[in-house]
Amino acid sequence: MTRTTAAARCKSCHAAIYWLESDTTGNRAPIDAAPSTAGNVLVMLDLGTYRVFGPERAAIERNQGAKLHRNHFGTCPHASQHRR
């Protein structure tokens, strides 16, 4: 199934984010819409999913030209207010 996922806004810091499901666990998470040079999350918007890489694999993916993102819980200044 393919999906089109539009960017939303974080309710506290107003950053552009995607709400996506992990391609392995199905857990939903807020992912920064903008790629990051420190990113370790591959966004697959057409599927509405994401995949998290460890540090070594993320470095390889970035070196091969992948645009990786970060989980918004790691970048939002108000993340502690939103965790369950």
pLDDT along the chain (84 residues), means of 10: 73 95 94 97 95 97 97 92 68
Number of domains in the chain: 1
> How does pLDDT run across 25-36, given as a tens digit for each residue?
999 999 999 999
For residue 79, the model assigns a pLDDT of 83
Do the domain assignments include residue 84? Answer: no
Do the domain assignments include residue 19? Answer: yes
Structural domain harbouring 33: 8-79
Do the domain assignments include residue 57? Answer: yes
For residue 1, the model assigns a pLDDT of 45
What CA–CA distance (Å, rounded) separates 69 from 78?
Answer: 18
Do the domain assignments include residue 65? Answer: yes
Provide CB contacts within 8 A for 14, sequence distance 6+: none
- What is each CA distance from 24 to 9, 49, 80, in whole angstroms? 25, 9, 25
Do the domain assignments include residue 63? Answer: yes
Q: Which pair of structure tokens corresponds to residue 56?
A: 């070594």
Do the domain assignments include residue 55? Answer: yes
Residue-wise over 37-64: b if at least 16 C-beta within 10 A, else e?
A: eebbbbbebeebbbbbbeeeebeebbee
